[in-house]
Structure 1
């Protein structure tokens, strides 16, 4: 994910609301929260209903879901701003109506054996996740009020955390859903706990993320002491147990992975 940079123009007075931290449910490991990046795309194309269903079956705690708006305001699930990579068509998703998007077929060009799948609506993802798993909502763009209404409709208010992609989303989510936990990446300027605390004065988020290389053990301890959780990205071509062991030793609370089955299996071996 791209680092989200906040500026001093954000009004601190608008950020005094305190949201509850996301909680582990019964059966989840206290050692580590596992997030499946765009679902389990080792078995199905990313961000498809099958990828999310397969991730649920692996026993992960959250699925990361990318949400964007069609030209007529429907909230659809796709990572890229264009449909070029995941379909045989071309163009910006935001230029297309839902009636056009729902005709598209998503596939993984590196794995044709995964087959072709529909582009899902956010509501469809909420439906299959309800009562089973949490959602790490990477909110690319769209109507925040509409997204929150859908989350409430499926009784997922306590199972969603929202990753902020734009400065203006911060006040939008605080206005419509003041209790939802928010997440942001560390700015490049954060190198130690003092610069982190200055960042937190502006944003007041409950979770921080970013690449695992952004963190040191000292920084992790300081962030945790300040009351925030850290869910890092470990998606790398050589993602493996050695990397997970190294990252866990920093003291982070969660990892977002491209290999959810293997990470869950490794987590279960921890004592």
Structure 2
């Protein structure tokens, strides 16, 4: 998530989409809990990041979302990789976009347990997550139309939240898949309710990972914007979780999903959402 702190001011210019005079509104995926826990790159301190095993671990722990990073191979396949190259994650060398899928699938992902892990393709990830966990899709370097085609083929349209990384991605998603919810950081210069109003008139996001001023939280809630703060770093601990929770956020992205979930349970903050069946 390193590049997420870069502000792409131009990405927010034209994200609102109108069709036949009516605005299409995207909504966040349904979650089982009112306070969302997002497993950063899967449960990657237990299993290697961005692997099926790390995702399955996050599912078993009861996380609400798994955050994954999407990139495109030289021959046009979508695979998971946080970094631009495979050098750090695997026993191979080279940038993902310069390698063919066949080459990437021959690589083994670095691990501490001696087990063999592979770089998964997006379709495999979608199948693993379906009806089990929502996906926080960090859209690193991929084609929107292709990604949505695979999402739709898997029947996962209602379990995806897309994080925007580059200028133009928002416009592409709203044009191709207007019902898919989008997420981006609220620019640091947005500090008043009036600033936020102007900003949201030009954008169409449903969530943010950044909040320059906690005083904006009521205004964000009024506008239906959820805040999922990043708490993962080398000093992630209960004090850091409390600092984020005290801002009134709706979710946390963590490197320690098991510990955070247990902490929330112990402090009676892990509430299940009660869904009332619709009357027939």
CA gap of 1:239–1:114, structure 2 versus 1, over 3 A, is: farther
Question: Quick check: 1:40–1:52 contact (8 Å CA) kept in 2?
Answer: yes
Question: Quick check: 1:34–1:264 contact (8 Å CA) kept in 2?
Answer: yes
SS at match of 1:57: helix
Q: Which of 230, 235, 241 pairs up with 1:233?
A: 230
CA gap of 1:251–1:96, structure 2 versus 1, over 3 A, is: same
Question: Quick check: 1:49–1:125 contact (8 Å CA) kept in 2?
Answer: yes
CA gap of 1:6–1:267, structure 2 versus 1, over 3 A, is: same
Q: Which of 38, 50, 54 pairs up with 2:53?
A: 50
Question: Quick check: 1:184–1:207 contact (8 Å CA) kept in 2?
Answer: yes
Q: Does 1:98 align with 2:104?
A: no
**Residue 266 of structure 1: aligned partner:** 263
Structure 2: tracts of 5 or more residues without a match: 269-280
Matches within 5 A, 1:116-265: 116-210=116-210, 214-265=211-262
Whole-Å separation in 2 of the counterparts to 1:174 and 1:36: 26
Give TM-score, length-normalised by structure 1. 0.90
Question: Quick check: 1:44–1:114 contact (8 Å CA) kept in 2?
Answer: no
Whole-Å separation in 1 of the counterparts to 2:16 and 2:60: 43
SS at match of 1:185: coil
CA gap of 1:198–1:44, structure 2 versus 1, over 3 A, is: same
Equivalent residues, number? 262
Structure 1: tracts of 5 or more residues without a match: none
SS at match of 1:173: helix
Question: Quick check: 1:67–1:141 contact (8 Å CA) kept in 2?
Answer: yes
SS at match of 1:117: coil
Q: Does 1:20 align with 2:26?
A: yes
